[in-house]
Every structure is written in C-alpha cells, then in structure tokens.
Amino acid sequence: MQKEKNNGKKPSFSLMKRLFGSRKEELDVMQEEAIQSPLRTIVKNFVGNKLSIGGLIVFLVIFLVVLIGPLFYPIQLSEKEETQINVAPGMDMMKIPKGLEGNVRMISAGSTFSVGVDNNGKVYVWGHTKISNKIDIKKDIPSKKELGEVVAVSAGFDHVMALNADGEIICWGSNRMSQTKVPSGMKRKKIKQIAAGYQVSYALTEGGEILYWGNENLNDIRVTRKKGNGKIDKISVANTTLMAVTKSGEAVHMGGQLSDIDAIPQDLGTVVDMATTSDNALVLLEDGSLRVWGKRGKVMDVPKIDGNVASIAAGRNYFTVLTDKGTVYAWGENGKHQIDVPSDAKDVKALYSGSYQNYAITGSGKTVTWGLKGYWLGSDELGRDVFARLLNGGRMTMTIGAISVVISTIIGIIIGGISGFFGGWVDIVLQRITEIVSSLPFLPMAMILTSIIGNSLSENARIALIMMVLGVLSWPSLARLVRAQVLAEREKEFVTAANAMGVKRSAIVFKHIIPNVISVIIVSATLDFASCMLTESSLSFLGFGVKLPRPTWGNMLNGCVNSVVIRNYWWRWVFPAVMLSICVICINMVGDGLRDAIDPKSNER
C-alpha cells in the first residue's frame, strides 16, 4: 500500500520539479517539450540564442542610459556658446603639466585652453590647443630664446600673449585678424598689463595708456582721452568690449555702444579692483564691499562673504572671490560646473579664473581645479555638448519610435482581427483599405503630411503629429499578418465552443483568438520599432521631423552634410550615426531571435 501511495504521488512531485527546474538529472527531450508551457519553451529557445541575448542586453543598456542620462545631463534649447565651437573629444582642458605643478607664477584660462608660466619663466600650454589644421597653440610656442623669461601670460579666444622681463610682448596662435602682430612701436613702451580678447590684443603701459591691435570691427573699442586713456590703472576684457579702472578709482567703459555692462552705477565710490564676465562687471570698492552690475541673472546675486576680499576674478558668466582667510566663493551660471568649488580648495593663496576653468593655488603649492574639463564626445557648430545632446536626442528618437509602434500595433490588431474573423464583405472592405494605405509611398507621404500640417503647430504638437503619422502609415503589414493568423485560429475547436456558449464575437476575437497569436504580434512590433526609429531619423535629418534645437539622432546629422564637417569634425556625425545603427541592429537581432524562438523550424527553412 505504501509503495502504491508513493507511486501515486511521484508524477505530481516530478511535475513540480520539472516546472521549477529543481531536478538535477537531464530529461528526455520529448518529455521536456511535452511538459513545458509554450511560453516557457519560447523563453528557453530565445535565451539559448546568444546573439539575440547580446543584442537585447546592449539595447537595454542604451535604453536605460538615454532614459536616465538626461536627468544628469540636461540641455537648454537656447544654448549657444561661440567660444566652444567644434571642440574635439577630450577631458584635458584642466590637466596641468607636471613641470608647472607646485611651481606656478601665473595661469590664464582661455576659451578651450590654458596658459601658465612657472617661477623660472617657462611657459606651458594645455587643453584643446588645436585652433585649425595648421595652428596649434601648444606646438607653436616660441622657443625659450624668443620668449626670454616670461613674467605674465594671457590666453584669448584663439591666441596667446606673453610679457617677458625685458618688457617685450610675444604673441602666437591665430593671426587671421592680425591679433598676434605686435606693433613695432610697442618696444619703446613699458608694459604694465596684457590682456588677450576675442581676436584682439590689449596692452596697458606704465603711463596708463591702452594700446590694442586685432579685430577692431568685431570688438567695441573707443579708447580716447575723454574716457580716461592715459590715466588707466587696470583693464578687464568683457567679451567683445573693454572695461577699465582709472588711477583715481573710477570705473570706465572703453567702448562706444550701449550695453548692459555700460550702465555703470553713479554712486560706486572708489574702485580698487575689477573683473568682468561677458555682460557683467564686478568691482571691489575701497571700503572692502563688492558691487555688480550688467545683465540680470544669477551673476547679480552676490553671496555673503566671510572675511575681507583679497582678489576677484571672472569667467564667461560667473564670478569668483578669494578672501584673506584663503576661502573661495563663486556664483553665477553653473552649466559647466564652473562655480562648484571643491572642498579641498582651502588655504588658497592665488586664484585664476577664465572662460569656464578655475585654478586655485593653495599654501602648500597644490593646484585645485574645477569647471569645464572638456567634452566626452566633443561639441557641435554652436558650442553645445554632443554627449548631452546624444542622450536627450536618443530619448526623443526612442520615444517617437515606441509610441508610433504602439499606435500601428493597435490599428493593425483591430483591423486584422476583425477582417480575419468576420470575413465576407467586411474582410473585402478592410483589405482594400489596407492595400490603399500600403500602396502609398511611406517616406514621401510622411514628409508631405508633416510639412503641410506640422508647420502650423507648436513643437510638442508637431512631435505628436509625427508619432501619429508614423503609426497610421505603418500598420498594413501587421494587419495582414494578424488576419492570416486569425483565419487559421477561427476554425479551431475553442472558437466553436465559444460560439456555442454564446460568447460575443468581439470577445472571441480579442479575448480568445488574439492572445493565441500575441507572440507573432510581439515579433512584428519589435521589428517595426527599429523601422520607426529609422524613419523618424530620416525625417528629422531631411528637416521634416523634429526641428532643431530640440535634438534627435536624426537632426543631429542634419548639419553634417558637407565635406568640411565630415573631414575635420568627425565626432559630430560619427557618434549619432553609430548609436542609431547599434540600436537598430540590436532591435533587429532581438526580433529575429523572437521569431526563431516562436517557430524553431524556421531555422531549417
């Protein structure tokens, strides 16, 4: 009796082991196939396809990165920075040379590179120093004999100025606007300060006279006696104009055009020091207080400072202050982490800021840096970070592709299911409609619809329209596939039984037949996802999809259709093209793997 009892329980126990995979011994293939559910068989077949699993993993990684990445790398659609145009990939903008570390006399940060001089008068250059194919700031440094013992340096947009102990000015870099061509009369002048700007060079003499050369058309410069020239104590470059402090402590704008920075307050008092951003000026007054004016924004919010101000400095759109306690304060825009002062910036003895880079020299000689280190994938024609736009563009491309597939799948299931189950005149009408839609040239039709209707819509409405157009035009193939599957399923016994029980016809189609063919629908939808991503990218590339400045992988390639960009700025088109290609290939690999898993015999055909 006990043996019979055990024998009676054994099949049930074996079934549990087989279902949950706890049995160690290998099962006979026919027995295993008979016990496993269809879904489990499909999953097992798919997991056994290493190529498809690899494609799925790669796609999921990319999907998660573009989904989460924009939270950490947001973009501003109005962003434009002319000083960061077409910067090559690299993260070395603040990588100080070993020979300069601990031996800094002075550092000047330019647009994409920095220049430093050590206590021995030797000049160092680092960062993105390649201005053009023929000009490299680092490689073009004059010899030690030509430079002499350098005591001061200044980095501009595309050139460098150096002042040696003999009072001689040496310039190198781009000379397109004669900004490195020092006037012959400069040799007779005793130079107090040098400053390199946007394609222009400035020099302040001991006598308080400002001299300049370079692009006078681009830069607003009106140096006259009336403005105090001949009595200047310090100059400060503000984008394409010049600010100055006279020997009597008066702030002066050395330009002729009205601007935010030109609106100097009348009740300033005596100015001791000055620093300028692109559109704002900060002054240190004789009583130790700070005063800022210019374009409204975060740079106007001067923080509460503990201690007396020892020196002030400025970058592109932010200010930094060093106190007598060795503490650094920074405020303003923070798009490139230029005001995120590190915790180890303590006991600071000297502070150098410019563009988006900051260098703090501590009492021990250590150099602490913060700000823009570079661009992982370079920058584009407007100075925007390609990596950030790639993340945000990928999310947009995938979102449009996914929603378009959902729309086309719903339409395809409804039309295919109704057509296949009801047949007769319903099937004839729906199939003629399907043929009409499928006969339309897909890409030209999508271009026409988005062009005619989309131009009168807002950007968000235009994106929604693109999703609808892609979804409405891409359902016929799925509808035919669903119809064929439903035609086969409707003749089976469970459909006859449902009819006999009085189940509604719509319930039979969508609750009983469609679930049985859902695996085929999933395969088709997966492959359509890749097609929709490619179509959206094609439309955006041609200018009929998502409009710039909102990024997608397609419109990121829109500005890369000339030989100059393809040859010189490869990172602008390689990375978007590679990411789109990888995603589409991986999705197709997953779709092929699902198809093979659902119908293993397809490998034999």
pLDDT in tens, 573-593: 999 999 999 999 999 999 988
User: In this structure, what token pair is assigned to residue 157?
Assistant: 């947009």
Is there a contact between 112 and 127 (Cβ–Cβ < 8 Å)? yes
For residues 528 and 554, give the distance between their C-alpha atoms in angstroms, rounded to a whole number.
17
pLDDT tens digits along 270-322? 999 999 999 999 999 999 999 999 999 999 999 999 999 999 999 999 999 99
Report phi then psi at 8, rounded to 5. Answer: -70, -30
200-233 burial, b if ≥16 CB within 10 A, otherwise e? Answer: bbbbbbeebbbbbbbbeeebbbebeeebbbebbb
pLDDT of residue 24: 45
By three-state DSSP, how is residue 531 classified? helix
User: In this structure, what token pair is assigned to residue 113?
Assistant: 């590179």
Average pLDDT score over residue span 320-339: 95
pLDDT of residue 35: 52
Is there a contact between 319 and 282 (Cβ–Cβ < 8 Å)? yes
Burial class (CB in 10 A: 0-12, 13-18, 19+), 128: buried
Average pLDDT score over residue span 216-243: 90
For residues 208 and 183, give the distance between their C-alpha atoms in angstroms, rounded to a whole number.
18
User: In this structure, what token pair is assigned to residue 540?
Assistant: 């955006």
Q: To which H or E segment does residue 493 belong?
A: helix 493-500
Q: What is the pLDDT confidence band of residue 193, given thresholds at 50, 70 and 90?
A: very high
Q: Hey, CA dihedral for 17, 19, 21, 27, is it positive or negative?
A: positive
Which residue type occupies 200?
V
Helices (H), ranges, 98-235: 144-147
Classify residue 75 by its DSSP letter.
Answer: -
pLDDT tens digits along 101-121? 989 999 999 999 999 999 999
Classify residue 108 by its DSSP letter.
Answer: E
pLDDT of residue 38: 66
Give the per-residue SS3 of 235-304: EEEECCEEEEEECCCCEEECCCCCCCCCCCCCCCCCEEEEEECCCEEEEEECCCCEEEEECCCHHHCCCC
pLDDT of residue 600: 59
Residue 510: pLDDT over 90: no
- Cβ contacts of 504-511, under 8 Å, gap ≥ 24: 505/421, 505/422, 508/421, 509/417, 509/418, 509/421, 510/413, 510/417
Closest CA to 449 of 463, 437, 466, 432: 466
In this structure, of 27-31, 53-57, 90-94, the range with the lowest mean pLDDT score is: 27-31
pLDDT of residue 448: 84
pLDDT tens digits along 393-409? 999 999 999 999 999 99
Q: Where are the domains of the chain?
A: 91-219, 414-603
DSSP conformation letters of 380-449: -TTS-BHHHHHHHHHHHHHHHHHHHHHHHHHHHHHHHHHHHHH-HHHHHHHHHHHHHHHHS-HHHHHHHH
pLDDT of residue 179: 94
Give the per-residue SS3 of 344-370: CCCCEEEEEEECCEEEEEECCCCEEEE
Q: What is the pLDDT confidence band of residue 18, given thresholds at 50, 70 and 90?
A: very low
Burial class (CB in 10 A: 0-12, 13-18, 19+), 323: middle
pLDDT of residue 443: 82
The CATH code that applies to domain 414-603 is 1.10.3720.10
For residues 407 and 125, give the distance between their C-alpha atoms in angstroms, rounded to a whole number.
56
User: In this structure, what token pair is assigned to residue 294?
Assistant: 């210019």
Residue 491: pLDDT over 60: yes
Any idea which fold 91-219 has?
Methylamine Dehydrogenase; Chain H (2.130.10)
Closest CA to 69 of 460, 502, 389: 389
Q: What is the pLDDT confidence band of residue 602, given thresholds at 50, 70 and 90?
A: low
pLDDT tens digits along 441-463? 888 888 888 778 777 788 888 88
Closest CA to 401 of 272, 587, 602, 541: 587
By three-state DSSP, how is residue 332 classified? strand
pLDDT of residue 25: 46
Residue 26: pLDDT over 70: no
For residues 440 and 449, give the distance between their C-alpha atoms in angstroms, rounded to a whole number.
12
| Residues in a beta bridge with 283 | 274, 291
Residue 12: pLDDT over 60: no
Say which residues have a Cβ less than 8 Å from residue 388's Cβ, sequence separation at least 6.
70, 73, 74, 75
pLDDT of residue 169: 94
Is there a contact between 490 and 420 (Cβ–Cβ < 8 Å)? yes
Entry pTM = 0.84
Is there a contact between 284 and 272 (Cβ–Cβ < 8 Å)? yes
For residues 232 and 118, give the distance between their C-alpha atoms in angstroms, rounded to a whole number.
28
- The alpha carbon torsion through 453, 458, 462, 463 (nearest 10 deg) reads 180
Closest CA to 556 of 428, 395, 423: 395
| Residues in a beta bridge with 245 | 234, 251
Average pLDDT score over residue span 380-390: 94
Higher pLDDT, 234 or 226: 234
pLDDT tens digits along 119-145? 999 999 999 999 988 999 999 999 999
- The mean of the pLDDT values for the chain is 88
pLDDT of residue 341: 95
Q: What is the pLDDT confidence band of residue 22, given thresholds at 50, 70 and 90?
A: very low
Is there a contact between 486 and 417 (Cβ–Cβ < 8 Å)? yes
pLDDT of residue 31: 52
Say which residues have a Cβ less than 8 Å from residue 45's Cβ, sequence separation at least 6.
596, 597, 598, 600
